[in-house]
Amino acid sequence: MNRSGKFGITVLGSGSGGNASVIHGPEGRLLLDVGFSAKEMESRLEKAGIEPDSIRAILITHGHTDHTKGCRTFADRHGLCAYFTAATRQEGERVRFLPERQAVIEPGSAFTLCGMHIEPFTLPHDAVDTVGFTFQVSGKKLGVATDLGHLNLLARQKLKGCALLVLESNHDPLLLQASSRPIQLKRRILGRHGHLSNRDALDALEELLTLESEELILAHLSRECNNRELLEELAKEALANLDRSDILLEIASQEHPLATRWLVE
Ligand SMILES: [Zn+2]
Ligand SMILES: [Zn+2]
């Protein structure tokens, strides 16, 4: 059982090989995306010290496998309801990630779950009806946007002023161009509905970070077309240029869960 009043996030893993996080709310925990097999999910939760049966529900951002791989098995095994948009549910029927218990959410329509005010919002990405989420507790906002081709006005409005922001920093355009990926895939990733580059993410910080901002987690790094050390250096430089070296910076890993970050303890 979650201790009352708490609010935070454990990134269990992030990248094109799978994405999943635990959002800890005052009245329980949620899974945000289930992009690893159920077995792998259980092993990562154990590493993070989280009981799978303490999770109350699942939120799915979109239908790509790196966000839905273990959704059906994990949800059914633990009796959880998965929430997704109607279009993502249709996609789930086609590619078979739908668990027994389902609920439909709508971009722009806020709801309350586990004591958190949750708002899904549309992101420009090449899957049907992709959403990002903000979670709010006691005036603190946590925002997650990991699959987006560009930061449009809506995304910037929603993500501005998060106490903790999880933002995609997918690739370095030069490493992507130099990679052995097929030209169509390169175009897809670089496009307005693909993935956010390091530069796109870091350039947006000037607008997104406010006095409320405390922590930044850069996520969904491409294994082949990004470089952790390079990104860390660029991100530190960007924060220093904004005179925001007070911001706690972390870079999500594909392999290991990050330590839980608490906004309210
Ligand atoms: Zn995606
Ligand atoms: Zn993804």
Sheet holding 111-113, edge to edge: 111-113, 116-122, 131-137, 140-145, 164-168, 215-219, 248-251
The verdict on residue 188 lying in a domain is: yes
The pLDDT tens digits for 102-131 are 999 999 999 999 999 999 999 999 999 999
The verdict on residue 262 lying in a domain is: no
Global pTM reads 0.96
Q: Mean per-residue pLDDT for 42-46?
A: 98
Tell me how crowded residue 8 is: count the other CB atoms within 10 A of its CB. Answer: 22
The CA-based angle 117-158-34, given to 5 degrees, is 65
CA of residue 256 to ligand 1 center, whole Å = 20
The verdict on residue 155 lying in a domain is: yes
Pairing of strands 215-219, 164-168: parallel
| 66 CB-near residues (< 8 Å, 6+ apart) | 15, 16, 17, 18, 19, 35
Residue ranges making up the domain that contains 204: 7-257
Distance of CA 97 to the CA centre of its chain: 19
- Nearest-ligand number for the alpha carbon of 127: 1
- Nearest-ligand number for the alpha carbon of 168: 2
CA of residue 85 to ligand 1 center, whole Å = 15
- Nearest-ligand number for the alpha carbon of 15: 2
The verdict on residue 221 lying in a domain is: yes
C-alpha 29/C-alpha 115 separation (Å) is 10
The verdict on residue 2 lying in a domain is: no
The verdict on residue 217 lying in a domain is: yes
The verdict on residue 196 lying in a domain is: yes
- Nearest-ligand number for the alpha carbon of 18: 2
The pLDDT tens digits for 136-168 are 999 999 999 999 999 999 999 999 999 999 999
CA of residue 35 to ligand 2 center, whole Å = 8
CA of residue 255 to ligand 2 center, whole Å = 15
- SS3 at position 188: helix
CA of residue 188 to ligand 2 center, whole Å = 13
Residue 4: what pLDDT? 55
DSSP character at residue 153: H
Residue 38: what pLDDT? 98
Give the number of domains in the chain: 1
Residue 1: pLDDT over 70 = no
CATH classification of the domain holding 110: 3.60.15.10
- SS3 at position 11: strand
- Nearest-ligand number for the alpha carbon of 17: 2
The verdict on residue 1 lying in a domain is: no
Residue 194: what pLDDT? 94
pLDDT band per the 50, 70, 90 thresholds, residue 101: very high
Picking from 136, 127, 135, the residue whose alpha carbon sits closest to that of residue 61 is 127
Q: Mean per-residue pLDDT for 12-20?
A: 97
